[in-house]
Amino acid sequence: MTGDNAEVVIIGAGLVGATTAYFLARQGIKSVVVERDAIGSHASGFSYAALGTYDEAGMTGTHFDVASHGMRLHAELADALLEETGVNVEFRKRPSLVLAFDEEEADAARNPQGFDLDRRSWEDKQGYSMRWLDRDETLRIEPRVGPEAVGAAYTEGTTDVNAYRLTLALAMAAEKRGAVMRQGSVTGLVREGGRVRGLLVDGTELSCDKVVVAMGPWSQGASDWLGIPIQMQPWKGQILRLRLPGPPIRTSVAGGDHFASTKPDGLTWVGPTFEDAGLDESITDEGRNEIMSAVLRNIPSLAEGDLVLQTACIRPLSADRKLVLGKAPGLEGAYVATGGGRLGLMMGPAMAWLMAELIANDTTSISLAEFDPGRFTV
Ligand SMILES: Cc1cc2nc3c(=O)[nH]c(=O)nc-3n(C[C@H](O)[C@H](O)[C@H](O)COP(=O)(O)OP(=O)(O)OC[C@H]3O[C@@H](n4cnc5c(N)ncnc54)[C@H](O)[C@@H]3O)c2cc1C
Q: State the average pLDDT for the chain.
A: 92
The answer on 226 and 246 residing in a single domain is no
Instruction: Reply yes or no on whether the pLDDT at 123 is more than 90.
Output: no
Instruction: Write phi, then psi, for 185 (nearest 5 degrees).
Output: -105, 125
> 349 CB less than 6 Å from ligand 1?
no
Q: What's the CATH number where 39 sits?
A: 3.50.50.60
Atom of ligand 1 nearest to the CA of 235: 53
The answer on 196 and 328 residing in a single domain is yes
Count of beta carbons in the 10 Å neighbourhood of residue 225: 23
CA angle 92, 98, 99 (to 5 degrees): 140
Give domain status of residue 64, yes or no.
no
How confident is the model at residue 165, as a pLDDT?
98
The answer on 221 and 331 residing in a single domain is yes
How confident is the model at residue 278, as a pLDDT?
97
Tell me the average pLDDT across 270-291: 98
The answer on 136 and 181 residing in a single domain is no
How many angstroms is it from 34 CA to the middle of ligand 1?
15
> 237 CB less than 6 Å from ligand 1?
yes
Instruction: Reply yes or no on whether the pLDDT at 185 is more than 50.
Output: yes
**Residues 6 or more apart from 53 whose CB is under 8 A from it?**
96, 98, 155, 158, 252, 254
> Which residue has its alpha carbon closest to ligand 1 atom 18?
344
List alpha helices for the chain, DSSP H.
Answer: 15-26, 43-46, 54-57, 61-85, 103-110, 115-126, 135-141, 163-176, 223-226, 285-298, 344-361
> Which residue has its alpha carbon closest to ligand 1 atom 31?
14
Ligand 1 binding pocket mutation candidate from 20, 48, 235 (most atoms within 8 A of CB):
48
Give domain status of residue 218, yes or no.
yes
Instruction: Reply yes or no on whether the pLDDT at 117 is more than 50.
Output: no
Domain finish residue from 133, 157, 181: 157
Q: pLDDT-based confidence at 5, cuts 50/70/90?
A: confident
How confident is the model at residue 130, as a pLDDT?
77
The answer on 225 and 126 residing in a single domain is no
Instruction: Reply yes or no on whether the pLDDT at 91 is more than 80.
Output: yes
Give domain status of residue 129, yes or no.
yes
Find the domain containing 150 and state its range. Answer: 95-157
**Predicted model pTM:** 0.96
How many angstroms is it from 48 CA to the middle of ligand 1?
12
How confident is the model at residue 54, as a pLDDT?
47
The answer on 113 and 261 residing in a single domain is no
Tell me the average pLDDT across 214-225: 98
Instruction: Reply yes or no on whether the pLDDT at 184 is more than 70.
Output: yes
Give domain status of residue 82, yes or no.
no
The answer on 301 and 288 residing in a single domain is yes
Give domain status of residue 351, yes or no.
yes
How many angstroms is it from 36 CA to the middle of ligand 1?
13
How many angstroms is it from 340 CA to the middle of ligand 1?
8
Atom of ligand 1 nearest to the CA of 184: 43
The answer on 261 and 307 residing in a single domain is yes
Give domain status of residue 266, yes or no.
yes
Q: pLDDT-based confidence at 53, cuts 50/70/90?
A: low
Give domain status of residue 57, yes or no.
no
Domain finish residue from 289, 315, 341: 315
The answer on 352 and 340 residing in a single domain is yes
Tens digit of pLDDT for each residue in 9-19? Answer: 999 999 999 99
> 272 CB less than 6 Å from ligand 1?
yes
Tens digit of pLDDT for each residue in 304-354? Answer: 999 999 999 999 999 999 999 999 999 999 999 999 999 999 999 999 999
How confident is the model at residue 116, as a pLDDT?
47
Instruction: Reply yes or no on whether the pLDDT at 264 is more than 70.
Output: yes
Domain finish residue from 137, 157, 177: 157
Q: pLDDT-based confidence at 226, cuts 50/70/90?
A: very high
Give domain status of residue 77, yes or no.
no
CA angle 269, 299, 274 (to 5 degrees): 50
The answer on 171 and 281 residing in a single domain is no
What DSSP letter does each residue of 329-349 carry, written as one string?
TTSBTEEEEE--GGGHHHHHH
Instruction: Reply yes or no on whether the pLDDT at 195 is more than 80.
Output: yes
Q: What's the CATH number where 100 sits?
A: 3.30.9.10
Tell me the average pLDDT across 192-209: 96
Lowest mean pLDDT across 99-108, 202-211, 237-246, 303-312:
99-108
Tens digit of pLDDT for each residue in 349-364? Answer: 999 999 999 999 999 9
How confident is the model at residue 124, as a pLDDT?
52
| Cα separation, 32 vs 202, whole angstroms | 15
Number of domains observed in the structure of the chain: 3
> 15 CB less than 6 Å from ligand 1?
yes
Tell me the average pLDDT across 2-26: 91
> 49 CB less than 6 Å from ligand 1?
yes
How confident is the model at residue 114, as a pLDDT?
44
How confident is the model at residue 317, as a pLDDT?
96
